[in-house]
Amino acid sequence: MADLFQEDIKLNLPDSKIVYYPSFLKKNEADTYFELLKRIVPWQQDTIKVFGKEYPQPRLTALYGSNDRTYSYSNITMKPLPFTNKLLEIKQKIEIRTDVTFTTCLLNLYRDGRDSNGWHADDEKELGVNPVIASLTLGQERFFHLKHRKNKTLKQKILLEHGSLLVMSGETQSHWLHQIPKTTRPIGERINLTFRVIK
């Protein structure tokens, strides 16, 4: 019998390399990580500047790393906390699957459907050229939207499920934008761990 937890879905989108693993973690494992991270992570809400105005970021965040490299985006500069044993455990599982050694994890807590992440690319200079971004979803499933920067007809929508892993690499960040949009549906909390390499 095939191991369902090894399945992967390659998104055949031009100018990209994106693989989705819907059942990367077994449900009980994902449940345990979700409850633990929700409780032990020192979640914070930063202020972002949009068109000269400041707003509370529509989600909570935390940054962990194996080096002291800061991470900056949307006029926010975050200093990493040292990885906890549980985060190192998760990191190792993802590194085995991706064959990449990650230095940093940005965590996002989406408290309800009003929390979101607008259109952007993970193309900050700290990440280098053609970065690998491994994104683990725990808790509430949410839609992940992609759109091509130049060809407006190229769009994709993926439902990121509890325990799933999405890996973006190659030229993806140069050619595609992505977002987690708001929803008016009454939904639960989602924790998203995005592993990356900061040089």
List per-block mean pLDDT (blocks of 10 residues) for the chain, which spans 199 residues: 61 96 97 98 90 89 94 86 97 97 98 96 93 98 98 96 98 98 97 96
> What is the model's pTM?
0.93
Report pLDDT for 6. 55
Report pLDDT for 90. 98
How many other C-beta atoms can be found within 10 angstroms of the C-beta atom of residue 102?
Answer: 21
Report pLDDT for 74. 75
CA dist., res. 40 & res. 4, Å (int): 31
Strands 60-65, 81-82: pairing kind: parallel
Q: Considering only the C-alpha atoms of the chain, give the largest distance between any 2 of them, rounded to a whole number of Å.
A: 57
SS3 2: coil
CA dist., res. 150 & res. 189, Å (int): 33
Report pLDDT for 51. 78
Q: Count of alpha carbons within 13 Å of 151, Cβ hemisphere only?
A: 9
